[in-house]
Structure 1
Amino acid sequence: MQVVTASVTDRGGRPRNEDSFGDRTSERLYYCVVADGAGGHGGGDTASRLVVDSVLADLRYLTLAELPPTGERLVSALTHANENIVEEQSRGDGNEKDMRSTAVVLAIDRECATAAWAHCGDTRLYCFRHGEIGARTRDHSMVQQMVDAQLLTEQQMRDHPRRNVLYAALGTREPLPIAGVHGTFALRDGDAFLICTDGLWEYADDARIIEALADAATPGAWLDALAQQVYASASTNHDNFTALAVWVTDDPEVTRLAVGPGPGPA
């Protein structure tokens, strides 16, 4: 089973990019993490980078031990990242005392043809299969609760004035509802994952993401189309956005693309 990836990140109209992302691979395992920091004045980018560094360090053990990744193990990695942010808050300056970060981590076991993921906040993971959404994380947000209660539609949540109100983010001392898939998720040839911060999904609804996927020959082309959607729809002061595309295929002739900066200004 081959894993083909691409990435895009953009600071948008903000002074700094508070998103972070990273990935690691071995002969058997591939895993990646996307984090969206909050706190301003440097705190957000510090928090998101702590998440990425902490998760990748924790999951390095899976790679060395060749352990099959499960949702429970990934929840544990995000829990540890939360502890690291809280510790950094206690010794940081005023910019970092209130820093938080959302996050999604995805792991793929090529040998077992399985995936697992976990998340906290409103950074999302989508899995597309045969042109439809096969799985999607549920945001830890006020507007997601309103959608679940049928008070809002999925489309209305994207521009609701309270859409940025979260009830869970890493960097919290109280118990967190970090969510993960139970066990593992069986992969099929052609599955496509999109992991993205709210700066992207707020401007690219499900139908447009699926349409862009159908038209794309590569993960990079898919992300380029989604980035263009953000540029066309967002204001000049739009938020940072970051996305990773991960395609799964049984074709042995497919090679893994290097993860690197996507379109748009740095």
Structure 2
Amino acid sequence: MKYDTSWISNPGGQMVNEDACAYHLVPTGGSWVVADGLGGHRGGQKASSLAVETALAFLSMSSDNPLNNLHDTLENAQKAIIAGQQAEPDCYAMRTTIILLVIRNDQARWAHLGDSRLYVFHKNRVIFQTKDHSVPQMLVGADEIRPEDIRGHKDRNRLLRCLGSPEVFRPAIYDKTYAVQPGDSFLLCTDGFWEYVLEKEMEEFLGHSASVGQWLKKMEELLSNRTHGNHDSYTAIGIRTISVDDMIS
């Protein structure tokens, strides 16, 4: 299969876009990464860029199956950020979220830290989404609030895990492999994106879009209509799987 990819990244109402994203396609699949530098810390923009660059570089140089190297990939990004903190006093507290998707030979795995999310769509319906490393997500797990209450929760920006924190490095790694089917789609995005676009709207736009680029454009238009003032930066990568047989026909 082939993986049609498109992306958007916008500073929103901020002076600086502290998000970063990139991807790398190979004949057997690809790697996709999105990161969100924490705006409350110095060096957020550098942290997100460093995390994305380090992760993709490590995956491209890995001689082993990258599906088995997600922990090492994120650990290398963690080490790069810690080294950057020590080298530049102004960036001593830089942090970032990260979401990473790797597909090889139609098998997928993913890993993350923070509240940047990955959604998996099958037949244009969400069948999986990552769980945020945040206080509101913890409250959902304790049955104190509903999942739909996360978006408007007063503590939504309080993260429990991220890259660059010296106290804890515990990424969440999908412990199986997902068998990718023709027509499946993936969405990697920062909280500045998913905060304003509901899952049912992601599904609806996906089902009525002829391309990944059109899908992202429709969601971005909805986001723009819902945001005012100094809203957060937002970034999203969309991927749709296409059967090689369909491309030939």
Does TM, normalized by the shorter one, top 0.5? yes
2:106 aligned with 1:113: yes
Q: CA deviation at 1:56?
A: 0.9
Q: Which residue of 170, 184, 200 corresponds with 2:177? A: 184
Counterpart position of 1:258: none
1:23-75 Cα deviation digits (max 9, x unpaired): 1122223101100001457610000011011101100124xx4x4332x4112
Distance 1:200 1:160 in 2: 16
CA contact (8 A) 2:42 2:93 kept: no
Counterpart position of 1:35: 35
Aligned residue pairs total 248
Partner secondary structure for residue 195 of structure 1: strand
Counterpart position of 2:152: 159
Ranges in structure 1 where 5+ consecutive residues have no aligned partner: 256-266
Distance 1:130 1:159 in 2: 29
2:76 aligned with 1:80: yes
CA contact (8 A) 1:121 1:139 kept: yes
**CA RMSD of superposed structures (Å):** 1.6
Q: CA deviation at 1:150?
A: 1.9
CA contact (8 A) 1:195 1:244 kept: yes
Q: CA deviation at 1:252?
A: 4.1
Partner secondary structure for residue 108 of structure 2: strand
Output the TM-score relative to the length of structure 1. Answer: 0.89
Distance 2:125 2:32 in 1: 23
CA contact (8 A) 2:28 2:106 kept: no
Q: Which residue of 86, 92, 109 corresponds with 1:90? A: 86
| Pairing 1:200-211 to 2, within 5 Å after superposition | 200-211=193-204
Higher relative contact order (CA 8 A, sep 6+): 1
Output the TM-score relative to the length of structure 2. Answer: 0.94
2:136 aligned with 1:143: yes
CA contact (8 A) 1:106 1:116 kept: yes
Instruction: Give the residue type in structure 2 aligned to 1:100.
Output: R
Ranges in structure 2 where 5+ consecutive residues have no aligned partner: none
Distance 1:119 1:107, change over 3 A: same
Q: CA deviation at 1:229?
A: 1.4
Partner secondary structure for residue 36 of structure 1: strand
Counterpart position of 2:46: 46
Distance 2:245 2:65 in 1: 22
Counterpart position of 1:173: 166
1:161-202 Cα deviation digits (max 9, x unpaired): 110000001001123220111142111111100000000100
CA contact (8 A) 2:3 2:29 kept: no
Distance 2:31 2:229 in 1: 33
Identity of aligned residues (%): 34
Counterpart position of 2:97: 102
